[in-house]
Amino acid sequence: MKNLLQFQTDLLAWFKQQSRDLPWRKTYTPYHIWLSEIMLQQTQMDRVVTYFNKWIKRFPDIPSLANGSEEEILKLWEGLGYYSRARNLRKTAIILVDNYAGTIPDTHHELLKLPGIGRYTAGAIMSLAFNREYPIVDANVERVFSRIFNIDTPIKDKENLSFIWDKATKLIPRGKARYFNQALMELGALVCNKNPLCVTCPASKNCRSYELGIVAERPVPGKSNETIFMEMATGVLIHQGKYFIQKRPKNGVWASLWEFPGGRLEPGESPEQGLIREFKEETEFDISHLTKIQTIKHNYTRYKITLHCFFCALENNNTQPTLHEAQEYQWVVPAVLDNYAFPSPHRKLIDFIREKKLL
């Protein structure tokens, strides 16, 4: 880097003028920083602000979170995905109440002992909440550094990540970790993004890729993961005006969320055939009178899901299932479905049914 002091000074001045007004930046409360950083994993900023405000209204502090039920916490988290994050928030809150008087520890090694807190989140809490000189490296910082230092090999290579973490540590100005780390991430989000705005960038004077005219070629991508396409079917089983829902097992995909039964189609199966089979395997219910509702497309990580959705009915009046893929079940009236946490595709289905007045 040509001029470290200039880089630090220009970046901090830019952040002071251009930083976004975010609720957790009001006071930098450790609880707020922890919560926001967990929510921001795999989620866009604008969505997180809405979820954060709703969460804080219900759980204003760590003790209230520790006393919350898993059901309510999952419901508040509904739509953010990666539900293990929400469970770990509750687990950690209970540990903090039991062992830390309901406060977040201000030492890096103690933070790393807590569920759901790794190197990144611990660094974020230490620097943003306590203003200590610990680095934060997210995708935004990786992109910024790949351009500033002109990293010409895949950014996710082990050697490159080690280099970036080392630089992120050494570049922090003494006593200004809170603002400097945020400035780096904000720069990557607002200026040095996929379509960089180099003419307005406060770091351009120290950017090697900009100097060489190859900003668009950085970062160098690695090998992309193969996309997995999945075709599935799910059924809204109705009997005497009530819907059948079941709660998924405590481990695995969508753990402890409620769902309508269904699953992945086997080779050669039609959606109707697959749904009848899945109901039998999961609940031992025999279903009939399948009526198509809609087809939902949903993507997460590297999976692309096509979900065929049906209304269906019981073949007989036996309403007692034998559960093989769930921990409990309920027959509920449609009006109370909003009280339960569902995976995003199933919530989309409920919203569609309500919007089209099919309830």
Query: In sequence order, what DSSP letters do the residues of 3-18 get, joined into one string?
Result: -HHHHHHHHHHHHHHH
Q: In this structure, are residues 260 and 234 in contact, taking their beta carbons and an 8 Å threshold?
A: yes
Helices (H), the chain: 4-18, 30-40, 45-58, 62-66, 70-77, 84-99, 108-111, 119-124, 139-148, 158-170, 177-190, 208-212, 271-283, 344-355
Q: What kind and span of H or E run contains 2?
A: none
Q: What are the tokens at 105?
A: 């520890």
What is the number of H-type helices and E-type strands within the chain?
A: 14, 7
Q: What are 309's strand-pairing partners?
A: 234, 294
Residues in CB range of 128: below 8 A, 6 or more apart: 28, 33, 37, 136, 177, 178, 181, 182
Residue whose entry in the numeric block shows the structure tokens 């034998």: 322
Asked about 37 being catalytic, the answer comes back as: yes
Residues in CB range of 26: below 8 A, 6 or more apart: none
Residue tagged active-site, from 37, 78, 259, 278: 37
Q: In this structure, are residues 31 and 19 in contact, taking their beta carbons and an 8 Å threshold?
A: no
Q: In this structure, are residues 240 and 216 in contact, taking their beta carbons and an 8 Å threshold?
A: no
Q: Rounded to an integer, what distance in angstroms lies between the CA atom of residue 161 and that of residue 146?
A: 10
- Catalytic site positions: 37
